[in-house]
Amino acid sequence: MESFQQSFTMLWPLASIVITGVALAWVINWFVKRSQDGASGLLYPLLNWINVSAVIIALIIMLPISEQTRGQVLSLLGVVLTAVIALSSTTFVSNAMAGVMLQATQPFRPGDYIRVNDQFGRVIKRTLVNTQIQTEWRDLTTLPNLLLINSPVNVLYREGTIIFAEVSLGYDIAYTRVEELMQRAALAAGLEEPFVLVHELLDHAVAYRVCGFLPSSENLLSARSNLRKTVLEQMHGNDIEIVSPKFINQRQLDPEQKVVPAVPVMRDRRGKTDTVSLAPEEKIFDKAVEAASLEELKLNLEGIRDELKGARSALKEAGLGGNTQLELQIAELERREQWCEGMIERHTSKT
C-alpha cells in the first residue's frame, strides 16, 4: 500500500502536467478554429509549439531526479534545441519569417488567382511555412513562403482583369479590317472596352493581340477559351485564313483556296451563356472555390460584427426609451451573424 502511495505521489505531478497540456491543446484548437484564419493561419502552429515546449520543460523539472541531473538534462535540451534551430534556419525559420511577412502584408487571400514563376493556380490556404494552390489541372501545389517573398507574385484582381488572344495574319490583309473583326470577337465573348494591338511585325506575318476587360475573374479559363473561339468564328466567317504564308510551301494549294472550315461557325454570343456544360473552373478549382467561400464568409462575419457593435452602442446611447428601428436592425444582424457562424462551422467541419 505504501509503495502504491509513493508511486502515485511521484507520478501524479507528471500526469497532471500531461493532462494540463492536453487540455490546453483542446482549448487552443477550440479558440483558433473560431478565429478569422482558423487552423490554417499562423496562430495555430505557434500556440501548439509553445504548449508542447512548455509541457516538455515542466516534465523535466518535475522528474524525481537530482538537481545536478536536472540541470544537465535542461542544458542538453537547450543544446539540442539550439542545434535544431541552427540547422533548420535556412529552411523552416526562413519560411516561417516569410509567412509572418505575408500575413502582415496580405498580398493575396484564398480564392485568388496567382502566378509565381511557372506556377499558376488559385490559393487554397496559407500556413506558417508554405502556401497551397490548386493548378488548372486540379492538382495541389505547395509553394514555400520564402519563394513567394523572393519571386514576383502576379495576383489577378477579383473585381476584373484584362485577358487577351493573339493571332498571326498575312500582310495582304488590312489591319483596319482585322481590328474591326477582333473587336467584334471580344464583344461577342462578353468582354468590355476591347482594343486591338499590332503586337509584332514578323518577316512572314503580322501578330495581332485583342484585349478586353473581364468583369469577373471567377471563370478565367472559360473566358480565355471563349475569346479564342470567337476570334476563330469572326476570322473564318469572314473568309480570312489564320495561317502563315509559309504554309503554302508545305503542300500544293490553289492560291484562291482559303484554309477555313467548309461551314464556318458563326454564333451570336453576346448576352448568352453556354448551357451545355458547367464552367470547368467549378471542377478544376473546387478546393480553391471552397476556400474562397470560407474566406468570404469570415469577412462578412467580421463586417456584421462591426455593424452589430455600432448598432448596440447607438442603442445604449439612446437611453431607456430605446429605438425600435435600432432594435430591429440588431435582431436582423444577430440573425445574419448566427447564419454566418453556422456556415463557417459547416465549412470547417468538412475540411
Query: Would you write out the chain's pLDDT as a tens digit for each of its 351 residues?
Result: 556 566 656 667 778 888 888 888 888 777 766 665 555 556 667 777 788 888 888 877 777 777 788 788 778 878 877 776 666 566 777 888 888 888 888 888 888 899 999 899 999 888 888 999 988 888 889 999 999 999 999 998 878 899 999 999 988 889 999 999 999 999 999 999 999 999 999 888 899 999 999 998 888 888 999 999 999 999 999 989 887 666 554 456 677 777 777 776 666 555 454 444 456 766 666 666 676 677 777 777 788 888 888 887 877 777 655 567 777 788 888 888 888 777 777 766 655
Class of residue 42 by CB neighbours under 10 A (exposed 0-12, middle 13-18, buried 19+): middle
Fold of 161-279: Alpha-Beta Plaits (3.30.70)
Residue with cell 445574419: 336
For residue 197, the model assigns a pLDDT of 94
Q: What angle do helix axes 67-87 and 43-62 make, rounded to 10 degrees? A: 150
Give every CB contact of residue 93 below 8 A, 6+ residues apart in sequence. Answer: 85
User: Is residue 194 helix, strand or coil?
Assistant: strand
Q: Where are the domains of the chain?
A: 2-87, 100-155, 161-279, 285-350
Q: What is the pLDDT of residue 348?
A: 65
- Please tell me the predicted confidence (pLDDT) of residue 285: 63
CATH architecture of the domain 100-155 equals Roll (2.30)
| Secondary structure (DSSP) of 57-122 | HHHHHHSSS-HHHHHHHHHHHHHHHHHHHHHTIIIIIHHHHHHHHHHHH----TT-EEEETTEEEE
Q: What is the structure's pLDDT at 249?
A: 47
DSSP state of 205: -
Amino acid letter, 339: W
pLDDT at 319: 66
Measured CA to CA, the distance from residue 19 to residue 328 in angstroms comes to 46
Give the model's pLDDT for residue 16. 82
* Overall pTM surpassing 0.95 (yes/no): no
